[in-house]
Structure 1
Amino acid sequence: MKISLKKTCYLLLFVLGVNMTFTSCTDDLNVTPKDDDEFLSDDFFQNPDSYKQVLAKLYSGLYVGGNDGDGTADIGGIGGDFSSYLRLLFVTQELPTDESIIAWADGNLPSMNTQTWTPGNEFLYGTFSRSFYEISLANEFLRQTTDEKLTSRGVPDALRADIQYFRAEARFLRVFDYVQLMDLFGNVPITTEADPVGFYYPVQKSRAEVFAFVESELQDLTTKLVDSKQNEYGRVDKTAAKFLLAQVYLNAKVYVNADKNTEALSLCNDIIANSGYIFKSTIPYAYLFSADNDRNGAQEEIIFPVVSDGNVIRATGGGMSFIIHASIGGSMVASSLGMDGGWAGTRTRKEFVQSFPSNFNDDVRATFYKSGQALDITNISTFTDGYGVNKFINVNSDGTAAQRNDIPDTDFPMFRMADVYLMYAEATLRGAAGGNLATAVNYVNAIRTRAHATSVANDANFNLDFILAERGRELFWECHRRTDLIRFGKFSGGSKIWQWKGGVKEGAATEAYRDLMPIPSKAIQANPTLRQNTGY
């Protein structure tokens, strides 16, 4: 077992079972406990262990789709396996891009491959609902951990001190949800612990208002969270807040039409100089995505992991189980990747493969499987059309087996230091005050040296187009691509084309309004005050 928080999470899910079913007038925006006598109630919190148990539930929501793994789903209308946060993040951030495509024809899933989705897409509804469900849990936890509540329960001082950090972590996980909502949907409601519990329609806010809320929360959390590297592995600290804020600033031109590259650069400098996290140049790139990436040295680079454990976190269709299982098919040998089989789903597209050297040995990040796979994708539903991807594996870095072969141990690196290096380089090229081009080149070359790729020079070829390509090579399948392409003006439209973009094999330009996802029609039915995004 990697961390005690994991065991706490498992025990919580086991104990609560179906008592964690939530409902409300909107089903996804104002989610409140079905029975206050069962969970998140004064009675429940009489047990001192309950505070960390609920914190564990907040973290587990990033991986599992229900209280017993994939079984009892948190979100109505979409199964627990399909509604895993990490799985939905992959669906929205990777499938609409040049980095991935999926063979399956489940419901409206194929439209995610082609940028042809509609407001009725159940996977977008799942994404929207999952985020607000997690927000509702965080809000109720914050309501139950005020000074007044803790005093009334006679909570001892030592536990109260811990709870203040728990509250900061709950706020971070809540603001992480709001960043995803702002990024994907733009104008969304903001609900906090100050809002009433019960029947009401949360008010939709502009993207600018959501940005201001996110910025304020993250600025405060850089002082309220546990000091950098002083928390349990798998839990966030001050550096995670700084990283997320740097991401938000780097995308500020998209979100609020404001240049905040200087602010992003300042945060990157702070993380590099002061956080204690390091770019781990002394380990192979593959170690970052192996089953023991919590202890093989990769943990020194990973700032915020979504923790996996084959024995403790039993989610067969969620999180990393989906990412690894779905990538195995054709002639691929599942056992060589530490798994019990494959689901013949995800692979990558020709244009992304071609961003690497033709000799894949010249860049170890080109973890493509070619045997029996066609480079061209003639038929989306044929797994052998498109190269496979072996980036994430459920095998320890020394070649030994993980704990089991049906559910992986491999942690998902949500934030890591290589991304900080790349954000520094991009902010510098975008004109951030204080940025140093030679330093940016050195950071990128550190990344490329670990990848056994050729170093780049400080010349005209070191430009934004190169940085976008390098972000793809280093971070592919880590759920950044859609956001990156939008920031570079390459997602919708015709400036960058890949196979099946727009629904045709050769690729086609798509409408600019697709830079935002539609507000799901079910959400609007539940809360008629919501207004649809332009174009939908």
Structure 2
Amino acid sequence: MMTMKNIINKLLSLSLISMLLIGFTSCEDDMDVEPNDPNAFLDDEFYSQPGAYQSAIAGVYANLTLTGIRGSGSSNIQGLDAGTSQYGRSLMNLQTISTDEAIWTYENDPGIREIQRKTWSSVNPILLGSFSRIMASVAFANEFLRQSTDDLLNQRNVPQDERAEIALYRAEAKFLRALAYYHLLDLFGKAPLYDETITVGSFQGEELNRQALFEHVETELLEVLDDMAAPRTVEFGRADQGTALMVLAKLYLNAEVYTGSPRYDDAMTYIEQLLNSGYTLANDYRNNFRGDNSTNEATSEIIFGIPSNFEESRSFGPVVVMTNGGVGSIEENNEDFGLFNPGWGGAIRLTPQFVEKFDGPEFENDVRNTILSEGRTREITDVSNPDEGFVLIKYTNIRSDGTNPEYDTFTDTAFPMFRLADVYLMYAEAHLRGGGGNISQAVSLINELRTRANGATINQSDLTLDFVLDERARELYWESHRRQDLIRFGKFSGGEYIWAFKGGSASGIPTNSIRNLYPIPAQSLSTNQNLSQNPGY
């Protein structure tokens, strides 16, 4: 029997995706989805086939990786760019490019200038792509849940020995829906509510404000937790209890931002459960970002990864972009990146303020410090000049054994959405914010990361919240956490922390606190009269 990973990598079948899209088009009215096959067969005909439910849940997962079924340039959501509307790419744009971690050279790309200069509006196409793609995950999960009820399993004479696995798939679908709403909560602060009980074609989703959306995600995760597989007992790329624990920990760590009420003690509860769930750090930090990170030792550290496969599941997702985009215009260091083309000519560079996080002799041998500076100026005065600014190597298609598959552009490297290293850092932060635990454990966890990286260890007196924020940047850069972190520490908007091009100017200026949330896309507002705009937009 094919594994879930293999099914996702096979892009699924044309008819399956089309079937899912037909159900999606009829229900969620916040974006316009075009079925790719007008002759798609009936649901019952599909679900009568062996392995149908395994293929169907793989279709739900596929929305995290793919944008369409006609290759990397296709999009199953009308009017959206296939690159910038990819799920992980959306997170990269909104959580990374909007911060001090990266500067995107090609500001003529629609919407990107406003994102990285923090001057966006509700008509930004990247915001529409992100909101729509995340809502697509909600729709696909709902369709799977509608098609896998006990009544339908009985009607379709699904064998009893398949029912337990289908129940597990249902739990995973509910988790993926909760994950989507978690991202909407963090990025947009509100979203329309849809679930599998809504009659298809009859309803515009009721708006959940940030408090209600927080409670909804919390309830969904807590209810599904016990129904999911134990941590590390399913294939790479599938969600399990560890994945759900991670999102709960993240939810509570950011609760003060989301609801105004701190929940650091609850965050610590789930952080400690994760620390006791069998995950271990990879011996080599770099293996988390190599071409075989879905099969090498990194699988013990990556709590949830989004698989990629050069031959069978291509998209312009975050790893492809950060691998190609990181290749410097001066260096053309393609072999270091595992590429056999020139990359994208210095598409991504670093702000001077991010580079400062690795200043000092203690970081000279730190393996996390992949910054390339030779022949370059630290300052960027002209965004369009790729020769200005430092660049770095983080993601590569080279495997942990040093072999290189000699691919062009696309990679096999999975995107590590959540890692155990983040849990270590969350423990230290939750402790410092009054969530419990103890200082010696916090220091020990930080030093495990430092020791693995060949960096200098710290003492208890070194462990402050400012230190944790900088250490998170050093450990987790380009993993789509930075915006959330800066907001939690009060440094994303306002003037407490300024970085290059924040607010528009090369030197950076303070920005209004309305920028802590993205606006609801204007097109989504026009298609759902229940939605309202965020303040200030």
Range of TM-score over shorter length:
over 0.9
Q: Paired residue for 2:395? A: 392
Q: Paired residue for 1:51? A: 53
Task: Please give the alpha-carbon distance, in whole angstroms, between the structure 2 residues aligned to 1:462 and 1:91.
Answer: 30
Q: Paired residue for 1:96? A: 98
Check if 1:438 corresponds to 2:437. no
Q: Paired residue for 2:490? A: 489
Task: Please give the alpha-carbon distance, in whole angstroms, between the structure 2 residues aligned to 1:40 and 1:98.
Answer: 49
Task: Please give the alpha-carbon distance, in whole angstroms, between the structure 1 residues aligned to 2:223 and 2:34.
Answer: 26
How do 1:221-370 and structure 2 match up within 5 A? 221-273=224-276, 275-280=277-282, 283-315=283-315, 317-330=316-329, 331-339=331-339, 340-343=341-344, 344-359=346-361, 360-370=363-373
How do 1:3-42 and structure 2 match up within 5 A? 4-16=3-15, 19=18, 21-22=21-22, 23-24=25-26, 27-28=29-30, 38=40, 41-42=43-44
Q: 1:212 to 1:39 in 2, by over 3 A?
A: farther
Structure 1 residue 326, shift from structure 2 partner: 1.8
Task: Please give the alpha-carbon distance, in whole angstroms, between the structure 2 residues aligned to 1:327 and 1:292.
Answer: 19
Structure 1 residue 336, shift from structure 2 partner: 2.9
Q: 1:272 to 1:10 in 2, by over 3 A?
A: closer
How do 1:171-182 and structure 2 match up within 5 A? 171-182=174-185
Q: Paired residue for 1:159? A: 162
Contact 1:26/1:523 (8 A) holds in 2: no
Contact 1:296/1:397 (8 A) holds in 2: yes
Task: Please give the alpha-carbon distance, in whole angstroms, between the structure 1 residues aligned to 2:423 and 2:492.
Answer: 22
Structure 1 residue 312, shift from structure 2 partner: 2.2
Specify the SS of the correspondent of 2:460.
coil
Aligned alpha-carbon RMSD (Å) = 2.0
Check if 1:147 corresponds to 2:146. no
For each residue in 1:1-32, what CA deviation from the matched residue of structure 2 results, as whole angstroms up to 9, or x when unmatched? xx822331244534338836553586536979
Could you tell me which amino acid in structure 2 is paired with residue 261 of structure 1? Y
Could you tell me which amino acid in structure 1 is paired with residue 313 of structure 2? I
My pick for the range that moved more, 20-29 or 37-46, is: 20-29
Task: Please give the alpha-carbon distance, in whole angstroms, between the structure 2 residues aligned to 1:267 and 1:467.
Answer: 19
Check if 1:512 corresponds to 2:513. yes
Task: Please give the alpha-carbon distance, in whole angstroms, between the structure 2 residues aligned to 1:444 and 1:86.
Answer: 27
Structure 1 residue 214, shift from structure 2 partner: 0.5
Q: 1:143 to 1:17 in 2, by over 3 A?
A: closer
For each residue in 1:312-368, what CA deviation from the matched residue of structure 2 results, as whole angstroms up to 9, or x when unmatched? 2122x2342122112223122223311123113112111011011334524221111
Task: Please give the alpha-carbon distance, in whole angstroms, between the structure 2 residues aligned to 1:341 and 1:14.
Answer: 33
Task: Please give the alpha-carbon distance, in whole angstroms, between the structure 1 residues aligned to 2:406 and 2:248.
Answer: 36
Contact 1:222/1:239 (8 A) holds in 2: no
Task: Please give the alpha-carbon distance, in whole angstroms, between the structure 1 residues aligned to 2:406 and 2:206.
Answer: 46
Could you tell me which amino acid in structure 2 is paired with residue 480 of structure 1? H
Structure 1 residue 38, shift from structure 2 partner: 2.5
Contact 1:30/1:201 (8 A) holds in 2: no
Structure 1 residue 117, shift from structure 2 partner: 0.3
Task: Please give the alpha-carbon distance, in whole angstroms, between the structure 1 residues aligned to 2:441 and 2:317.
Answer: 39
Could you tell me which amino acid in structure 2 is paired with residue 9 of structure 1? I
Task: Please give the alpha-carbon distance, in whole angstroms, between the structure 1 residues aligned to 2:328 and 2:44.
Answer: 50
Could you tell me which amino acid in structure 1 is paired with residue 46 of structure 2? F
Task: Please give the alpha-carbon distance, in whole angstroms, between the structure 2 residues aligned to 1:371 and 1:57.
Answer: 45
Task: Please give the alpha-carbon distance, in whole angstroms, between the structure 2 residues aligned to 1:337 and 1:55.
Answer: 33
Could you tell me which amino acid in structure 2 is paired with residue 484 of structure 1? D
My pick for the range that moved more, 479-488 or 103-112, is: 103-112
Q: Paired residue for 2:476? A: 475
Specify the SS of the correspondent of 2:206.
coil
Specify the SS of the correspondent of 2:357.
coil
Task: Please give the alpha-carbon distance, in whole angstroms, between the structure 1 residues aligned to 2:15 and 2:8.
Answer: 11
Task: Please give the alpha-carbon distance, in whole angstroms, between the structure 1 residues aligned to 2:135 and 2:497.
Answer: 33
Contact 1:234/1:306 (8 A) holds in 2: yes
Specify the SS of the correspondent of 1:465.
helix
Q: Paired residue for 2:113? A: 110
Could you tell me which amino acid in structure 2 is paired with residue 90 of structure 1? M
Structure 1 residue 199, shift from structure 2 partner: 4.2
Contact 2:84/2:90 (8 A) holds in 1: yes
Q: Which runs of 5+ in 1 are unaligned?
A: none
Aligned pair partner of 2:78 in 55, 70, 76: 76
Specify the SS of the correspondent of 1:323.
helix
Task: Please give the alpha-carbon distance, in whole angstroms, between the structure 1 residues aligned to 2:164 and 2:264.
Answer: 36
Could you tell me which amino acid in structure 1 is paired with residue 403 of structure 2? T
My pick for the range that moved more, 201-210 or 478-487, is: 201-210
Specify the SS of the correspondent of 1:501.
coil
Contact 1:32/1:197 (8 A) holds in 2: no
Task: Please give the alpha-carbon distance, in whole angstroms, between the structure 2 residues aligned to 1:534 and 1:205.
Answer: 15
My pick for the range that moved more, 249-258 or 319-328, is: 319-328
Task: Please give the alpha-carbon distance, in whole angstroms, between the structure 2 residues aligned to 1:6 and 1:47.
Answer: 20
For each residue in 1:60-102, what CA deviation from the matched residue of structure 2 results, as whole angstroms up to 9, or x when unmatched? 2112211233233122111222211111110000011111110
Specify the SS of the correspondent of 2:44.
coil
Task: Please give the alpha-carbon distance, in whole angstroms, between the structure 2 residues aligned to 1:213 and 1:476.
Answer: 29
Contact 1:145/1:163 (8 A) holds in 2: yes
Q: 1:381 to 1:224 in 2, by over 3 A?
A: same
Q: Paired residue for 1:67? A: 69
Q: Which runs of 5+ in 2 are unaligned?
A: none
Aligned pair partner of 1:447 in 442, 446, 449: 449
Task: Please give the alpha-carbon distance, in whole angstroms, between the structure 2 residues aligned to 1:385 and 1:4.
Answer: 45
My pick for the range that moved more, 363-372 or 254-263, is: 363-372
Q: Paired residue for 1:405? A: 408
Task: Please give the alpha-carbon distance, in whole angstroms, between the structure 2 residues aligned to 1:58 and 1:261.
Answer: 32
Task: Please give the alpha-carbon distance, in whole angstroms, between the structure 1 residues aligned to 2:61 and 2:27.
Answer: 25
Q: Paired residue for 1:503? A: 504
My pick for the range that moved more, 120-129 or 329-338, is: 329-338
For each residue in 1:225-253, what CA deviation from the matched residue of structure 2 results, as whole angstroms up to 9, or x when unmatched? 01111111221111110011000000000
Structure 1 residue 402, shift from structure 2 partner: 2.8
Task: Please give the alpha-carbon distance, in whole angstroms, between the structure 1 residues aligned to 2:26 and 2:133.
Answer: 14
The count of corresponding residues between Structure 1 and Structure 2 is 528
For each residue in 1:262-311, what CA deviation from the matched residue of structure 2 results, as whole angstroms up to 9, or x when unmatched? 111111111112x111123xx22111111122233111111111111212
Task: Please give the alpha-carbon distance, in whole angstroms, between the structure 2 residues aligned to 1:183 and 1:412.
Answer: 19
How do 1:451-466 and structure 2 match up within 5 A? 451-459=453-461, 461-466=462-467
Contact 1:69/1:80 (8 A) holds in 2: no
Structure 1 residue 478, shift from structure 2 partner: 0.3
Task: Please give the alpha-carbon distance, in whole angstroms, between the structure 1 residues aligned to 2:379 and 2:97.
Answer: 16
Contact 1:335/1:341 (8 A) holds in 2: no
Task: Please give the alpha-carbon distance, in whole angstroms, between the structure 1 residues aligned to 2:178 and 2:375.
Answer: 44
